[in-house]
Amino acid sequence: MSGASSATPSFAVQTLMFAASAIVMLGNYYGYDSIGPVAEQLSRELHFSDTQIGTLNAIYSLPNIFLVSIGGVLVDRLSARRMVVATTAVCLVGAAVTALGAQFPVMATGRLLFGIGSETLVVAVLVALAQWFDGRYLALLMAMNLSLARLGSYLADRSPSFASDLYTRGWQPPLWLAFAFAAISFAGALFYYWLDRREAQRGTLSLPPPPDRFDWRHLLSFRAEYWLLVAVCITFYSVIFPFRSTFAIKYLQEAQGMTLAAASTLNSYVFLAPVFATPVFGLLLDRTGRNAPLLAAGAVLLPISFLVLATIPGGAGLSTALLGVSFSLLPAVLWPTVVRYVSAEHLGTAYGLMTSLQNAGLFGANVIAGYLNDTSAASAANPAGYAPMLWFFGALSLAAFAATLWLWMRGKSAAAAPSRAAVTGSRE
């Protein structure tokens, strides 16, 4: 990264920064995944339709179709630390409004606020890690941060077990627990801000020079490989989060006959697996540099998992295992790979744009899945009504795999080009 200092923060200070960023992300991911465990209660106690439940996560994504690209530019221009604090504060307010939302418009407003802060926060943390840990093990450290964020998702899915008393008291106490996790995230942000400001003044961070005024037409100059990564990101996450964070627990209860505790526990394994496996895959990427093949290996498991779930009786456990491995591998490779194709001074913008388009996919997939369930009358009395939703997610999974194959083929063609030029004596 340009502008790198010869000095670096001490190992102890780097450890504290990493811990602070992990706390920020853990609390944030808990907040996002807090809707899934209460989805059946929202349906039963507040009479929300599946379209409304899907909208609670879709509306989280809606503002980020537009705002997170701007947020990425702000990260580049105002600094990661300022944006981390500002966005966690917005998320905290959003979590409070969500917990107060006995009426659907109020709860949706809270989720909207949470979304406005959350996705720009993710971009800011990625840029912060690149500034603090520029070097050989960046992929490993990004993967470790992501794995600890997934621990927040795991805890959200396990909350019906370890916080069962809250769930027996209705839909609202579990959402106040999500607010408490948002408060912990904000505390971590304040600590990171203090550390980052101190180290920036000492000149120990790998900070790029201030970027020129950004011209949106420059996006057209981003390499084709970057846009393929964007395609992978959109399709992959449009499956993972709308299904596993919004509808999976309700589906397992009503279509597979599981209790809330059993369904949430099984679903939580999708998020538990990355806690341990994502750093391993990040280290594997650092060691091998085989970005495209690893992306393809992670993506191919996704359509297989839905084929198993839709066609094999009692296949929920195997499907969860396949999805957990996919969710561990692909993100560990996807986000560090962006650094290969984007200059340091526009890294925040590139991550912001990627996240914007990802959220467009999340918004659409949540709404479509809820609509499919409602029009098919999916319920405990009609479990077959969930089939259109499963095939919809299966089709998106195939699209993600196809994008990784295209990226892999482009890489092989580029590698072969110098060999052809050497044989023919041509110049390219």
Asked if 138 contacts 129 with a C-beta cutoff of 8 angstroms, the reply is yes
Q: What region, left, alpha or beta, does residue 289 occupy, with left being phi > 0 and alpha being psi -120 to 50 degrees?
A: left
Tell me if 57 is assigned to some domain: yes
Q: What region, left, alpha or beta, does residue 152 occupy, with left being phi > 0 and alpha being psi -120 to 50 degrees?
A: alpha
Distances (CA, A) of 1 to 81, 228, 408: 18, 23, 25
Shortest CA distance to 121 belongs to which of 276, 195, 129? 129
Look up residue 162 and give its two tokens.
């370890």
Coil, strand or helix at 401? helix
Q: What is the pLDDT along the chain (428 residues), one digit of tens a residue?
A: 444 445 677 888 888 999 999 999 999 999 989 998 898 899 889 898 888 988 888 888 888 788 777 877 788 788 888 999 999 999 999 999 999 988 999 999 999 999 989 888 988 998 888 888 866 577 778 888 888 888 898 999 899 989 999 999 999 999 999 999 999 999 999 999 999 888 877 776 765 545 555 555 666 667 888 999 999 999 999 999 889 878 898 899 999 989 988 998 898 888 888 888 888 888 888 888 888 899 999 999 999 999 999 888 888 999 999 999 999 899 889 988 888 887 766 777 788 788 888 888 988 998 999 999 999 988 889 999 999 999 999 999 999 999 999 999 887 766 554 444 433 333 33
Give the C-alpha separation, 237 to 244, whole Å: 10
Which residues have C-beta within 8 Å of that of residue 30, sequence separation ≥ 6? 152, 153, 155, 156, 178, 181, 182
Rounded (10°) CA dihedral 122, 123, 125, 131: 170
Give the C-alpha separation, 341 to 303, whole Å: 27
Asked if 249 contacts 36 with a C-beta cutoff of 8 angstroms, the reply is yes
Domain containing 188: what range?
A: 11-205+219-412
Tell me if 121 is assigned to some domain: yes
Asked if 404 contacts 412 with a C-beta cutoff of 8 angstroms, the reply is no
What is the model's pLDDT at position 351? 80
Asked if 84 contacts 193 with a C-beta cutoff of 8 angstroms, the reply is yes
Type of residue numbered 37: P
Burial (Cβ within 10 Å: 0-12, 13-18, ≥19) of residue 44:
exposed
What is the model's pLDDT at position 420? 43
Burial (Cβ within 10 Å: 0-12, 13-18, ≥19) of residue 180:
middle
Asked if 57 contacts 109 with a C-beta cutoff of 8 angstroms, the reply is no
What is the model's pLDDT at position 416? 53
Tell me if 199 is assigned to some domain: yes
Phi and psi at residue 363, to the nearest 5°: -60, -50
Give the C-alpha separation, 392 to 403, whole Å: 17
Number of domains in the chain: 1
Distances (CA, A) of 83 to 68, 69, 86, 351: 11, 13, 5, 14
DSSP symbols for 49-90: -HHHHHHHHHHHHGGGGTHHHHHHHHHHHH-HHHHHHHHHHH
Tell me if 169 is assigned to some domain: yes
Tell me if 137 is assigned to some domain: yes
Asked if 270 contacts 278 with a C-beta cutoff of 8 angstroms, the reply is no
What is the model's pLDDT at position 220? 67
What is the model's pLDDT at position 291? 87
**What CATH number corresponds to the domain at position 292?**
1.20.1250.20
Tell me if 419 is assigned to some domain: no
Distances (CA, A) of 285 to 120, 136, 162, 338, 407: 26, 10, 35, 13, 16
- Residue 30's CB: how many other CB atoms inside 10 A? 26
Give the C-alpha separation, 54 to 47, whole Å: 14
Look up residue 203 and give its two tokens.
């000149």
Give the C-alpha separation, 132 to 44, whole Å: 47
What is the model's pLDDT at position 217? 62
Asked if 139 contacts 16 with a C-beta cutoff of 8 angstroms, the reply is no
Tell me if 214 is assigned to some domain: no
Q: Which residue has the tokens 């505390």?
A: 187
Tell me if 1 is assigned to some domain: no
Give the C-alpha separation, 403 to 237, whole Å: 13
